[in-house]
């Protein structure tokens, strides 16, 4: 009997490798509030990712909410409709109006050519997403931000370890936000982080994620409880030992898909977006009209064979009830994003995916 194949699966090191970490937590009796593993993981991630400062969080969504608070963002923020819904939810949680702009047809990232037309006197920031880990056009976005005195916060949930010609993609913008959810390339069960440009910004973020406390009796801001626990941080320390092997295995799976799907009419694989180091976080294909089946029909066909691909991102954020009333949410304003949402299908990619299992996926797609 063949096992079900899901679009992703967390990498889990041997359980016995985690036991010594748990023993240290039990011995120290420090479970949270910036304990030893929390501090070690922050530094280890800075070293691995090539960033100066990083603040750990309980999850990426709280990190997004806090990043907006840390920069005191208000009014309107220009963002993409083609992302996980947490991107826009973080804006609503802060009382900010999302303004959706269409995406680039090649990368599916926020299209810089469409940003300026969406800027109003109420615009204070841009929140792009490095979709599937492929870098945005960071130079063009920064040029617009500098011209109009706007902040830039990158939703980098998919971009762990990704580099462009200048180094880590996480160093672009005012802040970058990572997710360490179980489905990500690097995970801490649940978790996230904000990459900060300087120690002063990190200090403010650390205060905001701990209710706004400065010391035992002083609260300076209406912060939230966004701290990462010691167990999550310890798991991150263990994960970091295996991250290069995880990435290499994902690269092999990516290459096999590209090679065997290259000749399938109507299946378009997304190319890289100029990154010098990729993380192979997802493998999206766009099901074109030339393919014998529609996207949803292929999705259902795979499911009948125990293969659970994902229509990621579908629906668009702008299609959900809390957003679709916005003028910028109309599909007529977002033709490229709408087209991608109706065609995209993310195929299984994770280190434990066996070659014969991947071949099952490929054979079904080749069969049409």
Identify the pLDDT of residue 272.
Answer: 80
How many CA atoms within 13 Å lie on the side-chain side of 141? 26
pLDDT at 1 over 80: no
pLDDT band at 274 (very low <50, low <70, confident <90, very high): confident
DSSP state of 224: -
Cα(63)–Cα(344) distance, integer angstroms: 27
What angle do helix axes 243-261 and 355-367 make, rounded to 10 degrees?
Answer: 30
How many CA atoms within 13 Å lie on the side-chain side of 67? 34
Six-digit token string for 117: 């037309």
Average pLDDT value for the chain: 97
pLDDT at 275 over 90: no
- The closest alpha carbon to 54, from 217, 196, 199, 234, belongs to 196
How many CA atoms within 13 Å lie on the side-chain side of 312? 17
Question: CB–CB of 230/38 below 8 Å?
Answer: yes
Identify the pLDDT of residue 361.
Answer: 98
Question: CB–CB of 194/67 below 8 Å?
Answer: yes
Q: Span 83-107, mean pLDDT?
A: 98
pLDDT at 188 over 70: yes
How many CA atoms within 13 Å lie on the side-chain side of 302? 28
Q: Span 222-234, mean pLDDT?
A: 98
Q: Is the pTM of this model over 0.85?
A: yes
Q: Span 234-259, mean pLDDT?
A: 98
- The closest alpha carbon to 164, from 109, 240, 101, 242, belongs to 109
Six-digit token string for 181: 């959810």
Identify the pLDDT of residue 60.
Answer: 98
pLDDT at 273 over 90: no
In order of start, what are the domains of the chain with their CATH numbers? Answer: 15-102+109-240 (3.40.640.10), 244-367 (3.90.1150.10)
Q: Please state, for a pLDDT cut of 90, what percent of the chain lies above it.
A: 97
Residue 11: CB partners within 8 Å, gap ≥ 6? 187, 239, 242, 246, 350, 351, 352
Cα four-point dihedral sign 316, 262, 266, 349? negative
Identify the pLDDT of residue 2.
Answer: 81
């Amino acid at each position: 009997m063949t096992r079900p194949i899901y679009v992703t699966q967390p990498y889990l090191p041997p359980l016995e490798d985690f036991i010594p970490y748990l023993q240290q937590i039990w011995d120290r009796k420090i479970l949270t509030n910036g304990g030893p593993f929390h501090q070690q993981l922050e530094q280890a991630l800075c070293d691995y990712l090539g960033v100066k400062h990083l603040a750990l969080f309980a999850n990426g969504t709280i990190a997004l909410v806090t990043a907006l608070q840390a920069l005191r963002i208000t009014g309107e923020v220009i963002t993409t409709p083609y992302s996980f819904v947490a991107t826009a939810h973080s804006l609503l949680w802060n009382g900010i109006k999302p303004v959706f702009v269409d995406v680039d047809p090649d990368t599916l990232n926020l299209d810089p050519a469409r940003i300026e037309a969406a800027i109003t006197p109420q615009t204070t920031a841009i929140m792009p997403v490095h979709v599937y880990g492929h870098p945005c056009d960071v130079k063009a976005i920064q040029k617009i931000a500098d011209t109009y005195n706007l902040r830039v916060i990158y939703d980098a949930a998919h971009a762990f370890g990704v580099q462009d010609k200048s180094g880590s993609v996480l160093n672009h913008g005012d802040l970058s936000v990572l997710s360490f959810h179980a489905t990500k390339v690097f995970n801490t069960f649940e978790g996230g982080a904000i990459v900060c440009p300087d120690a002063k910004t990190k200090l403010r973020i650390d205060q905001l994620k701990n209710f706004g406390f400065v010391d035992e009796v002083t609260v300076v801001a209406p912060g939230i409880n966004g701290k990462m626990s010691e167990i999550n941080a310890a798991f991150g320390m263990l994960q970091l030992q295996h991250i290069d092997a995880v990435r290499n295995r994902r690269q092999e799976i990516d290459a096999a898909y590209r090679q065997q799907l290259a000749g399938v009419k109507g299946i378009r694989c997304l190319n890289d977006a100029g990154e010098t180091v990729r993380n192979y976080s997802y493998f999206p294909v766009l099901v074109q009209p030339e393919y014998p089946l529609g996207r949803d029909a292929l999705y259902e066909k795979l499911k009948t064979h125990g293969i659970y691909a994902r229509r990621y991102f579908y629906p668009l954020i702008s299609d959900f009830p809390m957003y679709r009333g916005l003028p910028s949410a109309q599909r007529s304003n977002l033709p490229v994003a709408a087209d991608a949402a109706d065609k995209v299908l993310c195929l299984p990619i994770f280190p434990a995916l066996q070659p014969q299992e991947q071949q099952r996926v490929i054979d079904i797609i080749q069969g049409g």
